[in-house]
Structure formats: C-alpha cells, structure tokens
Amino acid sequence: MSKTIIIIGAGLAGLSAALQAAENGCNVKLVSSLPSERAQSVMAEGGINAALNTKDENDSPEEHFTDTIKAACGLADPNAVWGMTQAAPELVHWLLKLGVKFNMSGYDDVDLRNFGGQKKKRTAFAQSDTGKQIMTAMIDAVRRKEASGMVERFSHHSFLTLRLCGNICCGCVIRDEYSQETVELPGDAVIVASGGMHGLFGNTTGSLSNTGEVTAELFRLGVPLANGEMIQYHPTTVECGGKRMLISEAARGEGGRLFALRNNQPWYFMEEKYPELGNLMPRDITAREIWKVSHESEVFLDMTEISKEIISNKLSGLADDCIRISGRNRCLFCQESTTSWVVFLWMNSTERRFRIFMLPGNAVPNIMVQTVWVVIPCWAHCTEDVLRQSQPANKLTA
C-alpha cells in the first residue's frame, strides 16, 4: 500500500519533494497558502552553484566543498555540504531535462558565472530570472503528476498544526482561506517546506507572506530548531512600493564594482581589502564592509563597464526592474532602503548601462530569500514505520 506524504509549502523545496515522493510511488497532498506561481522561489535571481567545469577551470565538487566551508567560516555541517556539492552537477542536469532554460555556452554546455565566495565560475543561471525559470519547469512537472492522480493540491490553505498520535505525527490540520473551514489531513509523513521566516524582521527582501508562523507552531509543539542565526544577509536592496527589491549579486558577478569616494576619487574598497575575490566576497562580509565604509562616504555600485550584451543576455531582469520602478528609461530615483539609500542613474539608456548608489542608513539587517543553491531545511515527522523505510528529512536538499 502506498504511503501518503503531506507537504507544507509549494515553492522550490515543496515542489521538489512532491516530485520525488510521487516518482517513488507515494500519494502526495501539497498544501500552500498561495499558488506556486507566487512562491518566494520565483524571485530567486542569481543562479544555482554546481561544479560543472564548462569553463575549463579544472573545477570539481571537492573544490566547491572547500569554497563553501570557507565561506561558512567553518560553521557549516560538512556532511550536508559534501552531499550538496557532490549532488549539485546531477541536479542541474536533472533541471535541464525538466525543461529549465539555463543560459547555454555553445551547443550543450551550461553557461556559468562568477558568484560570491567562490574562486571559479560555477553558478548556472537563467539570465537574472533563475528562480522563475526553475519554478516554471517544476510547476509543469507537478501538474503532470496531478493529472495522473499522484499529487493532490490544497492551494489557499494555511497550516494550523500537526495531528499527533501520542508522540508520533500522523497528519496535520489546515484551514481553507476562503471558507475558513478546518480540514484534517491524515498522512504517514509531513514534510515542512514553508520557506523563510521573514515575519521576524521589519525589513526584508523576502515575500511578506512568509511570516514564520509554520515554524513557530512546530517550535510550540516541541520540534527542535537549529541555526536560527544563519539567516542570509544581502548588502544591496532598494525600497519599492513599501517592499524591498533585491539588487542581485549577479550584478557584481558580471562585473559590478563597489566603491566609495575618498578625496573625491573612486575608492574600490572591496578590491583593495580582498584582492583575490574583491566584490565577490561572501555576502555577510560584503554587507559588513559596506556598513563600515558608509560612515566615511556614500557607497556606490558601478556597473558602467558592463557591456550591452551582458546586460541584455544575463541581467535583463534587473535592468527591467530598474526601468519599471522608475517609470522611464532615463531616471534619477532615490528612496530610503532597508540598509541603504539608493539612486539609479542611467548613464546610457540605449545600452542600458547604469550606476547604483548606496548609502547604508541604519544597522537593521535585511534578509534575503533562501536562494536555490542553498540547502533548504525541511522537517519531516513520520510514523515509526515510515522512519524505518525512509531517509532522514535532513538529507533533503535543493
């Protein structure tokens, strides 16, 4: 008899879990407060890291592992990081087969870009809309499973609590957000993939619908939580319609340079202090350096040296967002940001070359969506029978 798996959340982690469970013969009940098209994963921009070595740099999963452990200051779980870096190339090829439209280099090689905290090009990307492209392919794949009866959707349903049979989880309770009807779902296992806890913060680039309520309810029930301090900082955002818009790290990966003014001359402080990686240092370090320098001068992100071709082929989403929020192709736009004041100054609207100015304004950190190349934590509470037959939930990665 097939098992029933309940999945809370229909973003990248939830859809991936649903596909894997369905392909292994389980009946899946997929619960989400919003349709997958509005999941936070859609907003992931930069890419997904994998040592594909399509740039002939002698890259390997082992080097990917070393860079990741170093960027994590030695705090990351080495077993989890090893599993992620070893599996990453195969996962990218799986996404390709699923229909993800990655940028390609040549006929069949995935194009790769530089990204923070790594010495070699290993970030596969789809222009600046990687999350949207991955989610589009996954949504289509899950719909095929729905059509075959393997996946049942519960959109516009919010998670209330787990059903407990003694100390064993045997399902969950959800609520229809339209009718307010409470529904009990029995199941052999519950996987929670509800996304980030953005509701804990007044300032965030993450979706406002990711309140952290699911995690809070699990904690109330006694589920242990770990690594709550490891929430990702992002150094560059701009306020847009009461929300924070991310200036993707891809902007620096493609040649954007942070600088400040010293004696009225550009001072590329990241390149001076960190000559090996410069503007591609990990985000926590970059955010701290921007904050330090901001006491002396405004901080700028110079993208004027990025070519029209790169803007069009690799950063078009970011460029379009800048046009959208400004309302015109040539603009001077200023708003208070989460940690910065930002001005978009289009130097040449024909070639879409621009410079972004940032001045950190307060010490309140902003957080960014947990992006697609990071291991996404899931909590699974199974019956003793399922636990004997299944892998631990902390082996699930994205």
**Which DSSP symbol is given to 121?**
-
Pair 33, 142 in one domain: yes
Average pLDDT over every residue of 80-85: 96
- Asked if 6 and 31 count as a contact pair (C-beta separation under 8 A), the reply is yes
CA dist 222 → 8, 31, 361, 396 (Å): 18, 22, 38, 21
**Phi–psi pair at 355, nearest 5 degrees:** -130, 135
Instruction: Spot the catalytic one: 283, 288, 353, 355.
Output: 283
Report whether pLDDT(344) > 50: no
Pair 226, 239 in one domain: no
Pair 16, 126 in one domain: yes
153 an active-site residue? Answer: no
Which of 171-180, 313-322, 366-375 shows the lowest per-residue confidence on average (mean pLDDT)? 366-375
The number of domains in the chain is 2
381: in domain? no
Angle in degrees, 0-180, between the axes of helices 12-23 and 130-147, rounded to the nearest 10: 40
Around Cβ 128, how many Cβ atoms within 10 Å?
25
pLDDT in tens, 225-272: 888 777 776 787 766 766 677 788 888 888 889 998 888 889 999 999
Pair 247, 183 in one domain: no
pLDDT in tens, 298-324: 778 788 888 888 888 888 877 787 777
pLDDT in tens, 184-217: 999 999 999 998 888 777 777 777 788 889 999 9
Average pLDDT over every residue of 77-97: 96
Pair 132, 194 in one domain: yes
113: in domain? yes
Question: Would you state the pLDDT for residue 129?
Answer: 87
**Phi–psi pair at 263, nearest 5 degrees:** 55, 40
CA dist 111 → 5, 126, 158 (Å): 36, 9, 39
197: in domain? yes
Which of 12-26, 165-179, 240-254, 338-352 shows the lowest per-residue confidence on average (mean pLDDT)? 338-352
Whole domain around residue 119: which residue ranges? 4-230
Domain finish residue from 170, 202, 230: 230
Pair 67, 205 in one domain: yes
49: in domain? yes
